[in-house]
Structure 1
């Protein structure tokens, strides 16, 4: 048992130990490197998602209610509160804060002066004390407001240069500020513009406070003022507050993109919730960062759960390959261990020898694999215990295989007993029952996404092993029948090949092949299901080639759109949220929860989907509705239908649309409807073409467009013009300008669903699982071939001696290996196709499809992929067998005997 002897044996069997070392290296590399890569992809996705949002979306904004203060220093109070609020934040939130600002605002007051009067401008000016403004801005004229208080000196203010130019102000402009009245202003105080500045970086968060400091707020209507904000010194604000002018505090804390750890999102979200609940009574907290964080966390949890399933399949396959490698190594050294026992060695003598050899190879390979994994960029996970456990198990694989070697060596091992032992049957039946029970428990119990659930990772492995056991029991019987039929025909190739295939003992190798191919097929099927569900989600959100959303469009906007190049058709849509249902035309409340109302032109929407090639079915009640007396046929959500039935209003109810009430009846229900988000659980869909005539007709709030090579900018301009025409020709006109329209094309929506967020992690899981499963499956097939190579070599040697030609030899090899490879590949593909049907409800993949449930269906391409993989696997198996026979030289195999 000396180290030197162990080293010599390792060198003598270098190929076998090299294979074991490579498998160990791969296992520890995956355990160490894959979590780092996944964390890096998750961080990249999180940064991309947060960066795509407005920077102000990451602000935690505290404000105080406007009130009169008589404190000697309001800026000092704001500074003290600024630090206190930061200290009260939960640790996870405080660690994510990258920038922070505070300011004190005096409520806008009416300003008058010669420069404003020259252009007849009506202006309200707010005053803001904001530390750090001198570092963030650059003076272009004048000076900054003086921080030293001088009695009887006018208040000094600095304005953004663009704001000043728009208001016809300059450095040195003298103004009066006070409360606006019908005859002028009261409590007037002198004010002078002492400087004009420009921001050093307009994207700097210091400028994001509201009301905006770098632009003028336009009037909301006729006779309304422009609103601007100027910068004053802290002492000026103290003076203004002491005079009784209402002031407002503002504290903003911006979360940094690089400060948010994707692995601790739940802690951050919980911290934001606690802040929302424990906000001090004298301040108000406004934040919206939890919305994108929750969306990303849902995607990341679903992706990590799916990765756990894929990793279980890959690691189980690698474990099977380790077992096969150890078994092959021990099988080649069976005579050595038998001789060791014959010379007086104990039962564990061979195992101790194998353990010494494993300790020389496996730990070093494991350490190398772990080190290579640490080179993968990305934050690490605490995976050292898993790597240590894997190293220990691989180290013990060879000694345990040695203990399993039978004492004798003359029995043939290439035959399967016609009647397996009761022990084996019991084990196999128990395995099948355990797999079925685990699958049922997983479906009934569900799981917590984002966590490695032992039941979740064990179910795919158990089902794959159970399917392999069934295949092992089933596939020899038809082969034996074919062999009997082939015995009656001329030629020996088919008979001998099927006979040997029906008697081959390949239990462990076939299980490993099924695991590997099942993992690859699972990834392919789920990936195809997610892609198809994303297509449906895009069609639901935009059931045409483009969707224009706005406030209200002129009725002729759809006709104007059809005149644009490439536009074939356009149809109007009207959507209003939060409408109350009534029992009569007078508006008597039905005491039913609010619902969204959607008006669609049934025939127009049907034609639109056909011209756009969208697979969206419009209910017949909406397509065939006509203008006639009585309630309108409506499609409602199940929740609304249940409420109406309970209130006995399913035959007649009323809902308001743009100020007009329309009577409707329930003509059908739908779980969801195009144009509405998947989360909308309460809605009423009315047919536009069947609306009764009224004094005022509804106008669209959205427009669907069908066409080829649509110019989104042209659609945007046409939509803006349609809104402006409505504003000019509507019953109520004013100076308020409508918000610009948004144009979403179906192609852009589909691309957005597949980009950003945790999609990088999901794509990595699919690619790595499919590629890894395929490669490991081919490697397992190679082990399967090598497991019976010695016996096949002896048979082929005898048959070649009896006159078997080289062509017949290749045919015999092909016939013998085809059933084995075909059964293993088909069984693995079947397992991979069934697993998504079982696991899909608990994986939470709808987070990647805008809430649309992922449907896993049969894909014709999977059949072609399985056939191609089977052909490749068969060619690979034949090539491995041919190379092995060439290395062994069949004549020597025959001369050396059974156990050579």
Structure 2
């Protein structure tokens, strides 16, 4: 108990240091515990969005769980009856309990074999027509249909006749008449059974999830009352029950991540249940492939979050080490005295373990809730340091978050105990000797840790560049956004190594400055240069900390900005403009062959007959320019496999026809991609009707130069001569990257790629851009696409409404703005933006607190020195100048090192993010982006830090009393 009281008193004595350590622990625990919270929240959002997109794409409710059995002769009558009864019990009670989700609809559908239906009154109905129909029933059908004619069937026979309804298609298919009676004519049916068609039904609501099948499925069915069917067929076997279907519509909007495993488990259990009861069964769950993929997505996202947080983790670990080291430095004398009085190293370490457990317990209690706040912040990020009013993430604490928190506390405890282990090795004599020798090399420099870290990071850089070069040269692609943890670990190691290496060199620079002006330096600067030059090890902790945090912040900013900008530019370049659409043109093409009629595909006379050239009728273009929200519109004709000849050589290329003025106002192209401005090329093209711009791939492969002429055309069109006026590397919507002619799987490793791709022919796409009017006049008039640029504040919905209002027959539409929005909502980009923003903010906050903490403690430990200087006649103004000089030589130098290291790291390592994006489709080329606002924010924050620090230090200096300082020295 006495030891515990001593620990508490020691913590109270160093309350500000302990509070700073606790702050770092809470942030560390919060950051780590936010990972599972954020992973679950973002996957939850993604789950619902994916299921909604599945519904839009397939026009089918994703919550469908459909099970059907076909009863054959393998089961006896009693076995079949019992099996159906067991299935009813399971589907109606047990399955919904297993899902633990709201059930929107539960439908049982039964059907018999098809029977020959003969009209009772042959005089009124043509009895020569063969009518085969099944008897079917659906539970709860009455609430989901509307009557087109007649009435719904009664649950009991009327005058011995069973009432039935048919769908509209069934009325036509079976050639039946409402109000007429039919009887089954079959040897198996001994007793005549009469049916009367009493009505025709249709769906009440076509969005009703009750209907799994379309009504055309029942075109050969006579639908009777479900109650009658159950009583007379299912139980009493009036007719042979042939099939039974159980359909559940699960409310997928209420699905959580934990529902995925239950859904898959229920599917597997149901499959096993049906296999044990029925020889023939079918299960359908449209959402199952999507749900099965979530375990992979969860693993990728978790790996990515760890990867993204590596630099911040390293920075926080170093912060904890620095604060713990400051605490231990103030207590080294006490530790040395305890060692000299007989205390073992284990006893001293255990005392600090207890202290760490107390602080860790508080951090574990507060950290996950801080992580909850962090997750909500991540969910609102729309880009780096950009926040929007997006729908809040469904965040909640879970057991995994606390498990991660415990792991963070244990790791943090290790970091805080390292200085203790180093300190307990020194005796009281060794401690005094160490205090007198401040010029020893630090641990990092003594064992060349900086050189080792740099060597590892540079090797990683070389490996990444080699892999990227192979992927680009071979035209390889990746199908999903992947994140290699080494992409973040290697840059973090480079930042650490470069910072320590520059600090190895820095003392020599300070000494050089000192030696160069030692005859002219004023006393204040002379003293500062001596202090910094001789005690550089003392300042290394704060200098490394500042440089690493600032470099990490710059790298995070640059990486996030680069990934976001390249993703946006890829969408804009690939689309070519804000909106691209294809409109249906009228033509005189014959209708497609309908199968085995005369002149079919197998008819040799058709093969010999020349194809008729289709004539198209161009719709008016002016209405497109007048659509709501449209600023500019352009005609863009594209022929993907046009044939060109140059001399005796022949090849295929994409032929594009444009109107130069409209195209220039509409198309999007990043500046700097071409040798000259985009408009200059359009002006050159406009100078001659036969002028064309060709791609660099075509010019290099066929040795075509500006001034040459070539011929181009396509099947059924006569080739026309064009004159080459310019050569370009890129053009809106055109991808110049090579593609494999063989689409077989290729290993993505550099060695494997080279080995597997030696025999593959790489196709270099080629492009010819000419005048649309020249192509139409000399070759053919064929449909073109319409490209549009929207007004700055225009919404896509305005355009959609205008298209619908004017009844423009759009067959295909690509909206770059909507693709940009979908890109922003991608969970991986959300993770990048959120975590990078968080890392940047944490870097700044930790840097600020670390800076103030270090200098306040440093100044409080040098009161005697400043008091003696004041007693020697140094004015207060000169002391302030000394402090300013010391700050510039330490903190200022650390800021410069951090900026330099951050910029170098960004330029070296940010391009490696191409490995995490689709390489062959990344056009325009990946470009590292630096936003001046990020650096300006850092400059402002650093200036505030230095100003606040100097103000606090100046205030503390102004309160130093000479007689107290000297008295303190005598004591």
In the alignment, is residue 324 of structure 1 matched against residue 322 of structure 2?
yes
2:451 corresponds to which of 429, 452, 467: 429
Q: Which ranges of structure 1 fall in alignment gaps of 5 or more residues?
A: 108-124, 178-188, 217-226, 585-589, 644-650, 725-737
CA RMSD of aligned residues (A): 6.4
1:358 and 2:367 correspond: no
Three-state SS of the structure 1 residue aligned to 2:581 is strand
State the alpha-carbon separation in 1 of the partners of residues 222 and 796 from structure 2: 38
Q: Residues of 1 paired with 2:399 and 2:302: CA distance?
A: 15
After TM superposition, the structure 1 = structure 2 runs for residues 650-669 of structure 1, keeping only pairs within 5 Å, are 660=716
5 Å matches for 1:116-515? 129-134=137-142, 144-146=152-154, 153=161, 156-157=164-165, 191-193=197-199, 198-199=204-205, 203-207=207-211, 209-210=213-214, 233=225, 256-259=252-255, 261=257, 304-342=302-340, 344-346=341-343, 348=345, 351-352=348-349, 354-355=351-352, 358=355, 361-369=358-366, 372=369, 377-381=396-400, 382-383=403-404, 386-387=407-408, 389-390=410-411, 392-393=413-414, 396-397=417-418, 399-405=420-426, 407-408=428-429, 409-411=431-433, 413=435, 417=439, 424-440=446-462, 458-489=489-520, 491-503=522-534, 504-505=536-537, 506-515=539-548
In structure 2, how many angstroms separate the alpha carbons of the residues matched to 1:422 and 1:251? 68
Aligned to 1:562: 625
Q: Give the secondary structure class of the aligned counterpart of 2:165.
A: strand
Cα deviation for residue 705 of structure 1 reads 1.9
Q: Give the C-alpha shift of residue 331 in structure 1.
A: 2.0
| Post-superposition offset of 1:536 | 0.8
Number of the residue aligned with 1:781: 851
The answer to whether structure 1 residue 526 and structure 2 residue 530 are counterparts is no
Deviations 1:64-116 (A, max 9, x none): 999x999999x9999799999999xx99x989997776768999xxxxxxxxx
What's the secondary structure of 2:786's corresponding residue? Answer: strand
State the Cα distance separating 1:703 from its structure 2 match.
Answer: 1.0
Q: Name the structure 2 match of 1:846.
A: 917
Give the TM-score normalised by structure 1: 0.69
Tell me whether 1:601 sits opposite 2:657 in the alignment.
yes
Residue 599 of structure 2: aligned partner: none
Q: Secondary structure at the match of 2:851?
A: helix
Show the counterpart of 2:55.
Answer: 54
2:924 and 2:157 map into 1 onto residues whose CA distance is 65
How far the C-alpha of 1:36 sits from its partner, in A, is: 1.6
Specify whether residues 720 and 139 from structure 1 end up closer, same or farther in structure 2 by C-alpha distance, changes over 3 A only: closer
Per-residue deviation, 1:774? 1.1
Kept in 2: contact 1:573–1:600 (CA 8 A): yes
Secondary structure of the residue aligned to 1:322 is helix
Count of aligned pairs between the two proteins: 808
Cα distance in 2, alignment partners of residues 448 and 435 from structure 1? 27
Q: Identify if the C-alpha distance between structure 1 residues 301 and 716 changes in structure 2 by more than 3 Å, giving closer, same or farther.
A: same
Residue deviations 1:618-663 (CA, integer Å, cap 9, x gap): 997998498779xx9876999xx999xxxxxxx999866xxx5676
Per the alignment, in what secondary structure is the counterpart of residue 788 of structure 2?
strand
Q: Deviations over 1:244-269 (max 9, x none)?
A: 9x999897876824435299799979
Partner of 2:670: 615
Q: Deviations over 1:754-784 (max 9, x none)?
A: 2364544333212211111111122232344
Query: Residue 753 of structure 1 contacts residue 849 of structure 1 at CA under 8 Å; is this kept in 2?
Result: no
CA distance in 1, matches of 2:197, 2:684: 66
State the alpha-carbon separation in 1 of the partners of residues 737 and 630 from structure 2. Answer: 28
The reply to whether residue 881 of structure 1 matches residue 879 of structure 2 is: no
Find the residue that maps to 1:674 and give its secondary structure. Answer: coil
Deviation sequence 1:516-575 (CA, Å, 0-9, x none): 223322221122112312331342244334333444476243233234577554223456
Tell me the secondary structure at the aligned position of residue 820 of structure 1: helix
Deviations 1:262-294 (A, max 9, x none): 99799979x99xx9xxx9999999887589779
2:886 is matched with: 816
Superimposed CA distance per residue, residues 432-485 of structure 1 (whole angstroms, 9 cap, x where no aligned partner): 334434555566789999999775664344222212211211222333333334
132-141 or 360-369: bigger deviation = 132-141
| Greater displacement, 680-689 / 37-46 | 680-689
Distance in 1, Cα, partners of 2:888 & 2:15: 31
User: Within 2, Cα distance between the matches of 1:141 and 1:352?
Assistant: 90
Alignment counterpart, residue 674 of structure 1, candidates 710, 724, 733: 733
TM-score norm. by structure 2 comes to 0.65
Cα shift at 1:868: 2.5
Q: Secondary structure at the match of 2:917?
A: helix
- Is the Cα–Cα contact under 8 Å of residues 471 and 823 in structure 1 kept in the other structure? no
Q: Are 1:535 and 2:568 matched, yes or no?
A: yes
SS state of the match for residue 706, structure 1? strand
CA distance in 1, matches of 2:669, 2:349: 68
Classify the secondary structure of the residue corresponding to 1:572. Answer: strand
| Partner residue in 1 for 2:831 | 761
The structure-2 alpha-carbon separation of the partners of 1:435 and 1:849, relative to structure 1 and needing over 3 Å to count, comes to closer
Contact 1:39-1:262 at 8 Å conserved across structures: no
Q: Are the structure 2 counterparts of residues 888 and 544 from structure 1 closer, same or farther at C-alpha, using a change threshold of 3 Å? A: same
The reply on whether 1:9 has 2:42 as its aligned counterpart is no
Verify the 8 A CA contact 2:149 2:199 in the aligned structure 1. no
Q: Write out per-residue CA displacement over residues 321-361 of structure 1, whole angstroms, 9 at most, x where no aligned residue.
A: 2222222222222332333344x324527724743652673
Contact 1:157 / 1:230 at 8 angstroms: preserved in 2? Answer: yes
Q: 1:375 to 1:865 in 2, by over 3 A?
A: closer
* Residues 151-193 of structure 1 deviation map (CA, whole Å, 9 limit, x = unaligned): 9858633779xx99xx9xxxx965899xxxxxxxxxxx97332
Q: 1:406 to 1:433 in 2, by over 3 A?
A: farther
Q: Residues 636 and 256 (structure 1 numbering): CA distance in 2 closer, same or farther, change over 3 Å?
A: farther
CA distance in 2: counterparts of 1:883 and 1:195, whole angstroms: 89
In structure 1, distance between residues paired with 2:905 and 2:314: 16
Residue 14 (structure 1) shift: 3.6
TM-superposed CA distance for 1:507, in Å, is 2.5
Instruction: Determine if contact 1:602/1:624 at 8 Å carries over to the other structure.
Output: no
> Does the CA-based 8 Å contact 1:566-1:710 persist in structure 2?
yes
**Preserved CA contact (<8 Å) 1:571 1:704:** yes
CA 1:794–1:633: 2 relative to 1, 3 Å: same
Query: Counterparts of 1:851 and 1:469 in 2: how far apart (Å)?
Result: 36
1:699 to 2:783 alignment: yes
Task: Pick closer, same or farther for the CA change 1:76–1:479 going to 2, 3 Å.
Answer: farther
Shift of 1:320: 1.9
Gaps of 5+ in 2: 115-132, 183-194, 374-395, 469-477, 587-616, 703-709, 742-764
Offset, 1:812: 1.9
Aligned-pair CA distance for 1:306: 4.4
Distance 1:323 1:705 in 2: 57
| Alignment-derived partner of residue 30 in structure 1 | 31
